[in-house]
Amino acid sequence: QVQLVESGGGLVQPGGSLRLSCAASRSIANVNSMGWYRQAPGKQRELVATITSGGSPNYADSVKGRFTISGDNAKNTVSLQRNSLKPEDTAVYYCTLGKWGYTYWGQGTQVTVSS
């Protein structure tokens, strides 16, 4: 069983920056992609950003230009650098790993953007 462990959540002021990181509990071959989703209170879970094993990123329109995803396919790690944070970025952020049509999920890390 694969576990994804997220770190880097917390409280940050509007306009601030925060970096999330995620690592798989063991080495996994043939990973198709890794990424981040988030779920705000009372809302559905939504895509934030993903990156393929080849290094191609994909972003939700709401975070383009503010968030940057990076990954190390060999180490099964993925990070999300988030700048210019807004209160609407407040959510639980989940790390994902996709392999052969199956998606593994982390347990989530809370990020709160508030003054």
| Reported confidence tier of residue 1, pLDDT bands at 50, 70, 90 | confident
Which residues have a Cβ under 8 Å from the Cβ of 89 and sit 6 or more positions away? Answer: 38, 63, 82, 111, 113
Please provide the distance, in angstroms rounded to a whole number, between the alpha carbons at the two ends of the chain.
Answer: 39
| Reported confidence tier of residue 27, pLDDT bands at 50, 70, 90 | confident
Express each pLDDT in 53-97 by its tens digit.
999 999 999 999 999 999 987 889 999 999 999 999 999 999 999
Q: Check if the beta carbon of residue 96 is closer than 8 Å to that of residue 35.
A: yes
pLDDT, the chain, mean: 94
Amino acid 73: pLDDT: 79
The proportion of the chain whose per-residue pLDDT surpasses 70, expressed as a percent, equals 100
Amino acid 74: pLDDT: 82
Amino acid 29: pLDDT: 87
